[in-house]
C-alpha cells in the first residue's frame, strides 16, 4: 500500500487509510510512536507500562554503586 506525502500548512503529512487504523486499534486523538530506522519510518502504538511491571525485580535495596555520599553542600 502506498501513501502520498502532502503539504498541510507549514508541515508535511501522510494520511493513513482507515483500514490500517482499524487494524491497529488506533482512535482519533490517540498518540503514536514514530521510529526512524535508516530509510523507514515505523508507526506503532506506544508501549504501556505499569508500576507493578516496572518494579517487578525491585527488592527495596539500593545498589551500593549508586551511593557514595554527598557531592555538594547537601545537609542531612
Q: Do the beta carbons of residue 25 and residue 12 sit within 8 Å?
A: no
Task: Give the cell for residue 52.
Answer: 507493578
Q: What is the pTM of this model?
A: 0.56
Q: Show pLDDT as tens, one digit a residue, over the chain (76 residues).
A: 888 999 989 999 999 999 999 999 999 999 999 999 999 999 999 888 888 888 888 888 776 666 666 777 776 6
CATH of the domain at 39: 2.10.260.10
In a domain, 21, yes or no: yes
Specify the number of domains making up the chain: 1
In a domain, 67, yes or no: no
Q: Where in the sequence is the domain holding 44, given as residue range(s)?
A: 6-59
Q: What is the DSSP letter of 64?
A: G
- Distance separating alpha carbons of residues 64 and 27, to the nearest angstrom: 45
In a domain, 68, yes or no: no
- Distance separating alpha carbons of residues 2 and 14, to the nearest angstrom: 10
Amino acid at each position: 500500500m502506498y501513501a502520498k506525502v502532502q503539504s498541510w500548512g507549514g508541515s508535511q503529512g501522510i494520511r493513513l487509510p482507515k483500514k490500517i487504523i482499524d487494524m491497529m486499534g488506533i482512535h482519533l486523538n490517540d498518540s503514536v510512536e514514530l521510529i526512524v530506522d535508516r530509510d523507514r519510518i515505523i508507526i506503532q502504538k506506544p508501549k504501556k507500562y505499569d508500576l507493578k511491571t516496572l518494579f517487578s525485580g525491585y527488592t527495596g535495596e539500593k545498589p551500593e554503586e549508586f551511593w557514595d555520599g554527598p557531592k555538594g553542600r547537601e545537609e542531612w
